[in-house]
Amino acid sequence: QGCAQKYIVKNYFYYYLFKFSAALGEEIFYITFLPFTYWNIDHSVSRRMIIIWSIVMYIGQVSKDILKWPRPLSPPVVKLEMRTDAEYGMPSTHAMAATAISFSFLIATMNQYKYPFELGLVAAFVFSTLVCLSRLYTGMHTVLDVIGGALISAVLLVLLYPAWDVIDHLLLTSPFCPLLSIVVPLVLCYNYPKLDYYSPTRGDTTTILGAGAGATVGFWLNNQYAAPAFTSEDFQLGFPLITSKIVVVVLARFFIGIFVILLTRQLMKSVVLGMLGYRYKFPIGDLEARRRLEVEVPYKFITYSSVGFSATVIVPLLHKLLGLM
């Protein structure tokens, strides 16, 4: 475990296609696509996607460590990724996230934007299928892991869809929203299923719940202070984007926002790790110390809740200041 196998790439098209598709289920995608939706498409769509993503990923990560189904044996498969090899396999959270994000985006936009429903359905299916197939190609999951992940997401979408509007209304208006948005995820993170060895699932789950918590507090704060929100009525991008001016504005928002997010993440990571290192007497570079419960949970939760809050509050304010609203 943790030792990379030697392999020869015989088909570079499939190799790069599925390596790229695998990245669509990782942090690099979440930290770009979800904020992009919030800054440039529709606040209500983004809110629903982030909440669904947080719930689906938490259930998926916890299920892994409760079921404890091993990943495919290597050999015979060749594993192209090492970091997630320490995790269990069932269900595939890549498959869960891809299914949840693509189809929740379709459901949330189909009645607000004018585009062929069939085209949106095909796009959602292709996106989720590519991510699912990438998990088989990279040797990280069995067919059963992938099918199980996709089906769990589909069931959760069906169960949660009738309550979308109610949940969204409560997140925006309830005076208890900020407190519950922080306390509930923290309790879940501190009471994450314990394993006999270290797995990155607890840290990844804390990252996801932290980002969702920060974003949720940001949603509530924006609503309380009547921050301008993008909707299908007052900010209709259209499909496709048709003017160079809109393209420039969209790109400006995106790159400024990503810069702020990455800066926030790096700054908070350094500050929080420094404070925890001082509190628990360990050097910042001590990987084993950073894996301890009392360090990993507050470090990742505070860092990524700051990222979520920055994406939903700080970045839009900066956009407004720069005349990009």
Active site residue ranges: 94, 141
Q: How far, in Å, are 81, 85, 97, 189 from residue 169 at the CA level?
A: 40, 39, 24, 25
Query: Residue 41 — φ and ψ, nearest 5°?
Result: -115, -70
The token pair at 156 is 């959760």
Give the integer Cα–Cα distance in Å for 86 and 109. 37
